[in-house]
Structure 1
Amino acid sequence: MSNLRAIAAALLLICAARGAPAQGPPQLVPEAATLLPAIERDLEAAYLTPEERKDRRVFHGVWDERDLDSPARRAMAALETWRMDEGALADPATPISLRARALVRRGRA
């Protein structure tokens, strides 16, 4: 009788497992980043000029295309996203420190 119970329990377990909805892997990367309050305050500081505000958005990684209006900002954004083919990384108007960092990341320095 206990053998029959064991078989019935095993069958019940198998049926329950097959009937359970399949779950995908957990989402490891969030849809959107949430900024820390300190960063939000930094970006909204009243004393920043529009140019400084663009620099800060690029620095914190929350820029949009309107912020990338200079070779230096485009180069910084390219370095942050590992787009080593960005033309701004070779532009003479880009600071030498950013161009050098790109060369190092490309393995050419």
Structure 2
Amino acid sequence: MNATSILELKQQPYFLEHVRWDITPKVFLSPKVTAQDGSVATIDTSYGYMLYVDLVDEKPAIIIMQLKELISKTVSYIDEAPEELLREAMQCAGKECIGGMYPLTEKLETWLKKELGLS
């Protein structure tokens, strides 16, 4: 798996349009989620790209996973994010952190959207 620069990602309109900011590792690994009113809602995790934090060569990075109906796969990673934001995401506690996959924090998501020119 190779790193992809933010500049390269900014030049990929398909990627930019299909980042699934609503999909976290918890949602991905448990497709059925319970809404606040107690009803069960299913989130479609069969398309787009999920972003999460994990270690690559023992360093934190933003991982890019391509979501597909049958087999999703990790396609690349971004290693340009500020390390303090990545480490903060890895301090995740509770049920949101699953299998070493850490969701983006609000600060990290805001930083990334700004860098990608999405905000």
Larger relative contact order (CA 8 Å, sep ≥ 6): 2
Comparing both structures, which one devotes a greater share of its residues to strand? 2
Is the TM value for this pair above 0.5?
no
- TM-score normalised by length of structure 1: 0.22
Comparing both structures, which one devotes a greater share of its residues to helix? 1
